């Protein structure tokens, strides 16, 4: 951990450690309550102005329904899952682009939430804005879970 932290100023590692198999089970516990924060660059087919996206900032704890994506059906059963978009924050870029910051329940399919994935995620950004929307960039900003246990220095 110290070697990694000394080797670069671009990343920092903390609490790097070997964990037991039973300790890994802890990360699965309470998975529904964990949250993740994302930043996404969104494209819209229609011209937008700042006022066209501002309403998204006011939406809190939006419940969405997502069918299991086609690309994971070979390893997961078909299911309709309810997920929560806790908050959204928009930053207008230009007439066809905006940056969307999302805080979501863990397990939410973000790309599918943006474009709707053939109607398999409802509501979605496209349906909320009455546009065709797509995602051009997606970054995970944080995974909000207090694990692994802190190490003493």
Does residue 150 fall inside a structural domain?
Answer: no
pLDDT of residue 114: 97
Does residue 18 fall inside a structural domain?
Answer: no
CA 68 to chain centre: 16
CB 58 within 8 A of CB 67: no
Does residue 10 fall inside a structural domain?
Answer: no
Residue-wise pLDDT tens digits, 122-153: 999 999 999 999 999 999 998 887 666 677 76
Nearest-angstrom CA–CA distance, 2 and 8: 11
Residue-wise pLDDT tens digits, 88-113: 999 999 999 999 999 999 889 999 99
Average pLDDT over residues 72-86: 93
Does residue 9 fall inside a structural domain?
Answer: no
Q: What does each C-alpha distance from 22 to 16, 33, 125, 147 come to in angstroms?
A: 17, 20, 39, 13
* Number of domains comprising the chain: 1
Q: What domain range includes position 63? A: 33-144
Q: Given pLDDT bands bounded at 50, 70 and 90, which one contains residue 1? A: confident
pLDDT of residue 32: 67
Does residue 101 fall inside a structural domain?
Answer: yes
Residue-wise pLDDT tens digits, 45-57: 999 999 999 999 9
The domain spanning residue 107 has which CATH number?
3.30.70.3190
Residue-wise pLDDT tens digits, 7-30: 998 888 888 888 788 777 766 666
| Entry pTM | 0.79
What tokens appear for 122 in the block? 């409802």
């Amino acid at each position: 951990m110290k070697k990694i932290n000394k080797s670069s100023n671009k990343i920092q590692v903390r609490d790097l450690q070997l964990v037991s198999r039973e300790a890994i089970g802890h990360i699965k516990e309470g998975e529904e309550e964990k949250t993740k924060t994302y930043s996404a660059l969104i494209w819209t087919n229609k011209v937008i102005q700042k006022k066209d996206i501002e309403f998204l900032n006011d939406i809190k704890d939006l419940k969405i329904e997502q069918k299991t994506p086609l690309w994971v059906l070979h390893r997961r059963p078909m299911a309709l899952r309810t997920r929560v978009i806790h908050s959204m924050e928009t930053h207008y870029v230009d007439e066809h682009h905006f940056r969307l910051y999302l805080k979501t329940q863990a397990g939410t399919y973000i790309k599918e939430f943006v474009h709707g994935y053939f109607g398999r995620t409802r509501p979605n950004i496209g349906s909320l804005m009455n546009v065709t929307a797509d995602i051009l960039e997606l970054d995970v900003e944080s995974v909000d879970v207090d694990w692994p246990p802190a190490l003493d220095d």
